[in-house]
Amino acid sequence: MNSPVYVLGTGLSHNGSAVLLKDGRVCVGIEKERLNRVKHDGGNDNLAIQYCLDAEGIQLKDISLVVQCANFDIPDRNQYKGKRLFTEAPDLKIVDISHHLAHAYSAVGTCSFSECAVMVIDGCGSPLDQFLKLHPEQKTYINLEILNEVQMVCEKDSFYHFDGQKLIPLIKDFSKMAEKSGGLFSLPTTQHSIGGFYASVSHYVFGDMDDVGKLMGLAPFGKSGVYDFEAFKFKSGNLFVNEDWKNQFTNPSKGYEYFKNNFDYYANVAKWAQEQVEKAVLKCIQNRLEKFPHKNLCYSGGVALNAVANAKLQDSKIVENIYFEPAAADNGLALGCAFYGWLEYLKMPKVPHDGSTCFGKTYTNAEIEAAYNKEENRKYNSKKFSNVNDLADYCAEKLNQGKTIAWFQSGSEFGPRSLGRRSILAHPGIEGMKDHINLDIKFREDFRPFAPAVLKEKVNEYFLHGRNSPYMILVDKTKSEHLEKLKNVTHRDDSARVQTVEESWNSKFAKLLTAFYKQSGIPVLLNTSLNKKGMPIVETPEEALDLFEITALDILVMENYVIEK
């Protein structure tokens, strides 16, 4: 029997990760932050790679190929912010690819299309000199003006065609880096990128770079039309940022208290910025598709996590089918590296992906019991269910009574969203539940919304557009007749970042939703990530128990074990 072919992808910029393919299919993948508990961490990749090797039960010598990607440099095989594991495998082949190529392959490797267009939009990709060193044959796709630029320029958006095996670049746009002036909007992004613009406004509004997605959550509290100037302009088909918008904003946040005292002002700024991004994304993608039409589109890069802009893009009908890559930000680079290795470098045929984005390892009963049996956990009550339907019925009953449940099942999600493997779950309609979770469990800002997880076959009944949204990456509107019973998962403007739950790769979560529907008459649960503010999503049983201890969570379910306070 032939040995399996393993390809390892590793991403070393911020949001570092590692992904292992076995014969063209993802067998394991993890973000570094889940292991060392430092949010958005990157750099040295030993932890994430070792996790993948251990989960699959293999060694470096079993790997056929490694593909790697870092933002601003080409990592040395033996040293990168510390000694690397590859020093022990000097014969192992290591290939380097550029930032946007990794984003693009992460999408085409996991999409269902046999052929498609691919759009990548983010804040900052590979510098031009590094890009040309890696891909000298692509010089012809780059504007002469960019090639002659004396300052450092980096990728800001890229458009490709995927023919089922390889990516062909069609349009590559680069931008100068934003000037490091120390001013209000000085950030390590490109000057003319949508991602850079959004990050700088987020920094202005919140005073930190912890979670750019907060801006999208704040925007519905603002009013349209307060500001009548444009952030972006198009020239010769390329996107540029109008620098003079920065002169309009002179009151940056000085911390959370200051933000709260000036809430309406910052909400209006967020609303303006969100609307600017929506227009820019649509215009940019429309421009590319007019030149190179295709009915299928893959979309990746950090900007592709903007669920509101994504819904507008889908509603625009500029293409028939869009696949939004669930790990669209830099955590997905390792996934793209691995698929590049399989498809482009090894020239192996694409293997259909099952739609799952849960690539973590499953923890055994023994590992769960070892964590739970520590002295400090004796104060909790516990029981073990032998039947998954009985477990679902019991948990559904508790949720219907208003209990909050930490739900820890199987391999963890890869990407920023908890989808029913590492989730906090609650009733979507009980009065005060949203505020209780924000205040006493997540310890985060009270304006931030929670997502509804809904049985896929019921989405049309409860939400206006009935979008298929398995990765919680599109917004919809809650239907008016269901606003009261879904008050904890419906945002200020009646929007909801829906997750449609599929039994094929999320069966235990689907069973729980079905049981809750039978008991409550509502096929929807509040679903948010199993963490608190500033903390990466929980990975291990020990971490789940620690979070359970320090928050107001009522119940922790790990596989078939139920632990209650």
How many Cβ atoms from other residues are within 10 Å of residue 364's Cβ? 11
- Which CATH number, 3.40.50.2020, 2.30.42.10, 3.40.50.300, 3.90.870.20, labels domain 365-564? 3.90.870.20
Q: What is this structure's pTM?
A: 0.96
pLDDT of residue 403: 98
pLDDT at 550 over 80: yes
Q: What is the pLDDT of residues 170-213, one digit of tens each?
A: 999 999 988 765 566 666 678 899 998 998 899 899 987 566 78
Helix, strand, coil: what percent of the chain each, to 5?
Answer: 40, 20, 40
| Of 61-75, 231-245, 402-416, minimum mean pLDDT range | 231-245
Give the pLDDT band of residue 2 (cuts 50, 70, 90): confident
pLDDT of residue 40: 94
Give the pLDDT band of residue 237 (cuts 50, 70, 90): confident
Backbone angles phi, psi at 60, to 5 degrees: -55, -35
Alpha-carbon distance values, 465 to 17, 310, 475, 485, 497 (Å): 34, 13, 9, 18, 12
Q: Checking DSSP bridges between strand 495-501 and strand 451-455, what pairing results, if any?
A: parallel
How many Cβ atoms from other residues are within 10 Å of residue 361's Cβ? 20
The residue-averaged pLDDT of 96-104 equals 98
Q: What is the pLDDT of residues 408-439, one digit of tens each?
A: 999 999 999 999 999 999 999 999 999 999 99
Say if 1-107+327-353 and 112-324 have the same CATH topology. Answer: yes
pLDDT of residue 161: 98
Give the pLDDT band of residue 255 (cuts 50, 70, 90): confident
What are the E-state strand segments in 251-364?
296-300, 321-324
Output the six-digit token pair for 464: 């206006």
pLDDT of residue 236: 84
Q: What is the largest CA-CA distance in the chain?
A: 69
The residue-averaged pLDDT of 390-405 equals 98
Output the six-digit token pair for 419: 């989808």
Backbone angles phi, psi at 220, to 5 degrees: -60, -15
* Beta bridge partner(s), residue 234: 239
Task: Name the architecture of domain 1-107+327-353.
Answer: 2-Layer Sandwich (3.30)
One-letter amino acid at 253 equals: S
Q: Which helix (H) or strand (E) holds 81?
A: none
The residue-averaged pLDDT of 63-74 equals 95
The residue assigned the tokens 């945002």 is 491
**337-349 core/surface letters (b: 16 or more CB in 10 A; e: else):** bbbbbbbbbeebe
Q: Which helix (H) or strand (E) holds 432?
A: none
pLDDT of residue 178: 80
Output the six-digit token pair for 26: 């993802």
pLDDT of residue 465: 97
Q: What is the pLDDT of residues 471-492, one digit of tens each?
A: 999 999 999 999 999 999 999 9
The residue-averaged pLDDT of 141-147 equals 89
Output the six-digit token pair for 322: 């869009």
One-letter amino acid at 45 equals: D
pLDDT of residue 185: 66
| Of 72-86, 208-222, 406-420, minimum mean pLDDT range | 208-222
Half-sphere CA count of 179, side-chain side, radius 13 A: 4
pLDDT of residue 207: 82
Chain-centroid distance of CA 60 in Å reads: 28
How many Cβ atoms from other residues are within 10 Å of residue 532's Cβ? 15
- Contact assessment for residue 269 and residue 205, using Cβ atoms and an 8 Å cutoff: yes
CA distance 426 to 434: 9
| Superfamily for the 112-324 domain | ATPase, nucleotide binding domain (3.30.420.40)
pLDDT at 112 over 70: yes
Residues 6+ apart with CB under 8 A from 348: 5, 24, 342
Average pLDDT over the chain reads: 95
Instruction: Tell me the domain boundaries of the chain.
Output: 1-107+327-353, 112-324, 365-564
One-letter amino acid at 326 equals: P
pLDDT of residue 210: 61
